[in-house]
Amino acid sequence: MTTDTLLSVRGLSLEVARTGHKVVNDISFDIASGEIFGIVGESGSGKTLATRALISLLPPAIRVASGSISYRGRDVLGLNAKQLRSLRGAEIGLVFQEPMTSLNPSMFIGRQLEEGLILHTKLSPEERGARILDMLRRVGISDPEGALVAYPHEFSGGMRQRIMLASVMLLKPALLIADEPTTALDAVIQRDVMELMVELTRAEGTAVLLISHDLPMVARYTSRIVVMEKGSIVEHGRTEDLLEAPQHPYTKKLLSSLPFRGAPRVVDMTKAPMVSVRNVVVDYPGRKSLFRKAKAKRALHGVSIDIHEGEVVALVGGSGSGKTTLGRTIAGLVKENEGEIRFQGRARDDDWQDYRMNCQMVFQDPYSSLDPRMTILALVEEALRLVPNLDAAAKRKRSLETLEEVGLDASYASRYPHELSGGQRQRVAIARAIARRPRFLIADEPVSALDVTVRAQVLDLFSDLQKRYGFSCLFISHDLGVVEQVADRVVVMQDGRIIEEGDRNAIFDSPKETYTRRLLSAIPALDHNATGGVTLKWRFES
């Protein structure tokens, strides 16, 4: 590794122009040529703004308050607009999180790629064309010629992120800023895109500034890391040191928030299952149009699954695997075309009222699952509306108690959802689901919208409640780390079928299917040490 400094940030502070409120506070770091450098932080840590400042692309409301940024000895903050433009793209490239919106939807891919080359190089049109095709091939686009005259919407999210990478790497920048480059992608695709990025940048000698909330992912690829919290850098060091011997409490908290394998629990599997799903088939009607016959799309191909009393069964798989559809079908939100669902020995459809009393659901997005026009108390009380033998006073009392149980005291009762943080909202959603004391809970990605530390707290809450009330749970998640922590049993789905299922330890330690192994390769196995640090072990490194 070379040691010459490429980029040097000294005492950089950013503030909201109108109020003077500091959003990034006195941060300093250096990036050497060709190294992969990581910034880790949760939402609101200022990590994205800090990196946008490096190429002077701050939103209009934010301005640099103090500090300096020097790139190859040049003072970036002192450059005029023209000098900045020659720096952007050619020297420093930027890759975004959201592949769906980061390419211009109304311009051919080819033109978008060529734009940068026209601007920053003196290549002839033929040379440009050749370079573009070569790059598209390298990022794994199967039909590069066709891609030139295609629009972004004709590609999947993963493909678009590859095209984005191609667009940036075409200009051979010396530094690539990658802001949550894989967060919006499926676990399996995430890894492919990251490997591709590392391979391309290594080949070109490009340094990478990798920004993410995902500490293990950043740790996997970087040599050095800074940790940001609330606009400040709290810790700075070599990746291994930072993981194994964290100094700052926040770093320790981040590390201890990483999901770990819970102790195995005993579930009585000899009794008849509480929920029994048999050969369920779900077809989504195809889009009807005048010139197309409505062709149904089969989302579930005869799926069977059992959930026992007190058991937490995790349903995992990528997007489009059918896991969410299965959860919604069991909840009765989607009607199955074939098959049967039995609850406590009876057909579910025979007694909906009983089923509704005993089966509740927690949804993924706490911003969308709570009616914005109702107070927290009213939201929880609504869950008790149909419960028989409970008068109004008892309902209120139970609601307040339940809120207390999820860690929200009476002062929250009269607030509205938008006044709460994401984690608090998810607590409300959990309170609403357990207020009825259901025997069975369906949790659809209940923690994937939450920050790392909040996620750990909500998972703890979930485990406590599960222990106290002993409900069974179908826990749907794409995040295998979380699953490893909470599940008793794991069911893996792909393309609307169950491909593998078994005891948690068995699945995590000796998976049989390649797909399961690929899913597992995206998450590390953790070894916690005495000092609050961890050692990451990646499974199935190829």
Partner 1 sequence: MKTFSLNGLIGGILIAFLVLTAAIGLVWTPFDPMKLSFTAKLAAPSAAHLLGTDEFGRDVLSRLMIGAQASVWIGFLTVSFATICGTLIGLVSGYARGWVDGVIMAVNNALMAFPGILLALGLLAVFGANQYGIIFALGIAYTPSMARVVRGAVLSLREREFIEASRVMGNGEIFTMVRHVLPNCLAPITVLATSMFGWAILSESALSFLGLGVPPPAPTWGNMLAAGRPFIQQAVWLGLFPGLCIALTLLGINLLGDALRDRLDPRMRGLK
Partner 2 sequence: MLRFILSRLVMALPTIVLVSVTVFALIRFIPGDPAALMLGDMAQPAQIAEMRTELGLDKSMPQQFFIWAGNVLQGDFGKSIVNDEPVLPLVVSRFAVSAQIVLVAVLLASLIAVPAGVIAAWRQNSLTDLALVGTATVLLSIPTFWLGLLLLLFFGLKLGWLPVLGYVSIGSNVVGGLLYLVLPIMTLVIHEAGVLIRMARASTLEVLRLDYITHARAKGLSESAVIWRHAFKNAFGPTWTMIGLILGNLLGGIAVIETVFTIPGLGRLMVDSIFARDYPVIQGCLLFVALSYVLVNLFVDLLYPLFDPRVVAE
- Site residues for partner 1 per CB under 8 A: 328, 331-333, 352-353, 356-357, 359-361, 363-365, 368-373, 382-383, 385-386, 418, 429, 432
Distance (Å, rounded) from C-alpha 145 to C-alpha 142? Answer: 9
CB of 429 to partner 1, least distance (A): 8
- Strand-pairing partners, residue 233, are 228
DSSP 130-156: HHHHHHHHHTT-S-HHHHHT--GGGS-
- Strand-pairing partners, residue 41, are 228
Distance (Å, rounded) from C-alpha 324 to C-alpha 316? Answer: 9
Residue 106 site contact among partner 1, partner 2, none (CB < 5 to 8 Å, cut-off depends on kind): partner 2
Nearer to partner 2, 93 or 417 (CB): 93
Choose, by CB under 8 A, the member of 2, 107, 295, 297 that binds partner 2: 107
CB of 382 to partner 1, least distance (A): 7
Residue type present at position 140 = G
Nearer to partner 2, 148 or 526 (CB): 148
Say if residues 536 and 219 touch (Cβ distance below 8 Å): yes
Q: Is 293 exposed, middle or buried (0-12, 13-18, 19+ CB in 10 A)?
A: exposed
CB of 14 to partner 2, least distance (A): 16
Residue 3 site contact among partner 2, partner 1, none (CB < 5 to 8 Å, cut-off depends on kind): none
Distance (Å, rounded) from C-alpha 95 to C-alpha 180? Answer: 8
Q: Does the protein bind partner 2 through residue 167 (CB under 8 A)?
A: yes
Distance (Å, rounded) from C-alpha 399 to C-alpha 433? Answer: 11
Distance (Å, rounded) from C-alpha 87 to C-alpha 173? Answer: 9
Residue 353 site contact among partner 2, partner 1, none (CB < 5 to 8 Å, cut-off depends on kind): partner 1
CB of 57 to partner 2, least distance (A): 6
Say if residues 53 and 66 touch (Cβ distance below 8 Å): no
Nearer to partner 1, 71 or 355 (CB): 355
Sign (positive/negative) of CA torsion 156, 158, 162, 167? Answer: positive
Nearer to partner 2, 160 or 328 (CB): 160
Distance (Å, rounded) from C-alpha 180 to C-alpha 97? Answer: 5
Residue type present at position 183 = T
β-pairing, 175-179 vs 92-95, is parallel
- Show Cβ contacts of residue 28 under 8 Å, excluding neighbours closer than 6 positions: 9, 10, 11, 12, 67, 233
CB of 64 to partner 2, least distance (A): 17
Site string for partner 2, 171-190 (x = CB under 8 A): x-------------------
Q: Which of residues 46-105 bind partner 2 (CB under 8 A)?
A: 55, 57, 60, 81, 85-90, 92-94, 96, 98, 101-105
Nearer to partner 1, 82 or 373 (CB): 373
CB of 386 to partner 1, least distance (A): 5
Nearer to partner 2, 107 or 410 (CB): 107
Site string for partner 2, 110-129 (x = CB under 8 A): -----xx--xx---------
Of 163-171, 201-209, 242-250, 364-372, the window that binds partner 2 (rule: CB under 8 A) is 163-171
CB of 176 to partner 2, least distance (A): 11
Distance (Å, rounded) from C-alpha 335 to C-alpha 282? Answer: 7
Residues of this chain that bind partner 2 (CB under 8 A): 55, 57, 60, 81, 85-90, 92-94, 96, 98, 101-107, 115-116, 119-120, 151, 153-154, 164, 167, 171, 289-291
